[in-house]
Each structure stands twice: as C-alpha cells, then as structure tokens.
Amino acid sequence: MKVTIANLKRGQRALIKEITSDIIPLKLLEMGCLPGNEVQLLMTAPFQCPMYLNVNGSHLAIRKEIASQIEIQII
C-alpha cells in the first residue's frame, strides 16, 4: 500500500517521494511540491477537503484527490 499526502494526520510531517500522476497542477510544482521536499499537514477543512499543507515554508491548500497522487515517506 502506498502512503500519500491524503494519509497524513494533522501535524504529521513527511518527505515527498514521488508524484504518481500527470494531473498535478503546475502551480503546486512551482510552489515546491517536488520529490525530496518536506510536507506537513496543518489542518483540513470539513469533510477532509481541501487539505492545508506547509511545503518547505509555503502554505498550500490542495484537494484530497490531488493529495492522493503524491506519494510520501513519513518522518
């Protein structure tokens, strides 16, 4: 089973391992959502979508369906 950003719990940190889809918006890549970078789940909105993340100091909000395409390694 692959672990993705969608599996993170609030406050948990991880390293981005691999992006497994071509549907990732270019804006996310430009803001540092790249393999090797650290990601932390800050909070989720009601119904778990969107997810608010800290990626290398940048605060991002992404949909859970996109988060499930970004494979991570929990640290």
Total-model pTM: 0.87
**pLDDT over 80 at 49, yes or no:** yes
Instruction: State which amino acid sits at residue 72.
Output: I
Greatest CA separation for the chain: 29
Chain mean pLDDT for the chain: 90
Helix (H) or strand (E) holding 65: helix 64-67
Q: Is residue 27 very low, low, confident or very high in pLDDT (cuts 50, 70, 90)? A: confident
Query: Quick check: 19 and 35 in contact, CB under 8 A?
Result: yes
Nearest to 17 by CA among 73, 75, 74: 73
Structural domain range at position 55: 5-74
CA angle 35, 36, 37 (to 5 degrees): 95
- CATH number of the domain residue 46 falls in: 2.30.30.90
Query: For residues 27-44, b (16+ Cβ closer than 10 Å) or e, as one string?
Result: ebeebbbeeeeebbbeeb
Q: What is the pLDDT confidence band of residue 30, given thresholds at 50, 70 and 90?
A: confident
Whether the per-residue pLDDT at 21 is higher than 90: the answer is no
Instruction: Count structural domains, the chain.
Output: 1
